[in-house]
Structure 1
């Protein structure tokens, strides 16, 4: 089941609900002069996502294909998108461009550093590297500065077929999901390490008003406090593991 919701001006959440996993896979489409799709989805989801994107804009118009880190739901269908959008280019962290995209992508990716802004037209996105948060040394997030939307990947992951956008606290749901994963073969899904708190505090200083989450409801409200509280939840559930 696929749903499309505009969760902020010109920002569309395309959700694919997979009941077998009890999980939503969310992809974010930015409608601007240089349209961007953030999260490509898995290759098996490509036909469904292409149809959904086409309800908002012509997929051939895509200019940027963004993602946080190298993982199948983040960038598995990247080459399928690059094939149908001739002017599109992958955009990710500088580390991701160097160690993954050089071999994986059909065309060279644009690697972003902390000093870089990605401009899509009337919107611009600040890149924040977040190595090993949520996971992967190539991880990073994008912050849209006009509407203050944080494209936060797997942060705030919570399972279930939930609403597209909520103003209610999602931390209890996040805690439950992380605790469930800790008791399963997915117990190493998200590390808590010696840089987690610092990175979450850095994201909180951006003062986002909307969290665009990959799995679960997006959240509108006091996102800075939510990010600070997420540190406490992760430390509590994940056991304060050290990553040197």
Structure 2
């Protein structure tokens, strides 16, 4: 469903009760790129990633096609960056029950100061029940980057909110794909390499693989469905051998 004909912003359900909000953009060099946010519809709805502040009008419009904005309960982020939480305070202003959702390090170093409402700080492995859905938090420091980085898994659908992992170029026209995303994401990563390449990178990716995700909710490009464990292990190998 296209929710804004000018921006091309669109909404698609990628797993039961989980919606991808996608906005295609042009980079300064003319190349296509995209920003995705993920909305979990439940008793306590969760938005993961806000998008940059300049996209707030079209992202909030898209959410409004799925549920009333004021129902939002959690506004989550992997780490502190514009496309993760650029319009955090705009969402908090429009949703009176909403609080930021992040890891304990992000709360300590940034969100306690940047956000207009105190965050819910998640511990590694902690489970947050939204209703029918339950979200588990994983601390992933420096994976792919930022000390405070963390990622989430929805338990019942095995949907992994994988942030900047598997970032793909292009507009992400396919909301959900089973085609190869590792090759294009690695081709995009290598020239500007935005991975931190910490000593624990491989172990962190393999830990995530052990959770057996079935859907990868990528922040840039298409979401992906398949054997997420194998794909994460392939990424661990690719990142380790190219460092």
Q: SS of the residue aligned with 2:21?
A: strand
Q: Gaps spanning 5+ residues in structure 1: where?
A: 182-186, 240-244
CA distance in 1, matches of 2:171, 2:135: 29
Aligned to 1:173: 184
Tell me the equivalent position of 1:184.
none
Distance (Å, rounded) in 1 between the aligned partners of 2:171 and 2:115:
32
Q: Which residue of 2 aligns with 1:105?
A: 115
Match of 2:218 in 1: 213
- Are 2:70 and 1:60 equivalent residues in the alignment? yes
C-alpha distance in 1 between matches for 2:223 and 2:53: 24
Where structure 2 has 5 or more consecutive residues not aligned to the other structure, the ranges are 1-7
In the other structure, the counterpart of 2:203 is 198
Distance 2:25 2:241 in 1: 28
The equivalent residue for 1:12 is 19
Q: TM-score, normalised by structure 2?
A: 0.93
- Per-residue deviation, 1:107: 0.7
> Is residue 2:142 matched to residue 1:132?
yes
Counterpart-to-counterpart distance in 2, 1:112 and 1:128? 9
Q: Which residue of 1 aligns with 2:238?
A: 233
Superposition deviation, residue 200 in structure 1: 0.5
Secondary structure of the 1:98 match is: helix
Distance (Å, rounded) in 1 between the aligned partners of 2:185 and 2:60: 29
TM-score normalised per structure 1: 0.93
Find the aligned partners of 1:64 and 1:42 in 2 and give their Cα distance.
Answer: 17
1:88 aligns to 2:93 (yes or no): no
CA distance in 2, matches of 1:177, 1:233: 13
SS in 2 for 1:127: strand
1:44-69 CA distances to partner (integer Å, 9 max, x unpaired)?
00001110000000001000000100
Deviations 1:62-106 (A, max 9, x none): 000001000000001000000000000101001111110111000
How far does residue 24 in structure 1 lie from its aligned partner after superposition?
0.9
* Count of paired positions: 232
Cα drift, residue 164 of structure 1: 1.2
CA shift for structure 1 position 236: 3.3
Distance 1:148 1:215 in 2: 19
Q: Secondary structure at the match of 2:163?
A: coil
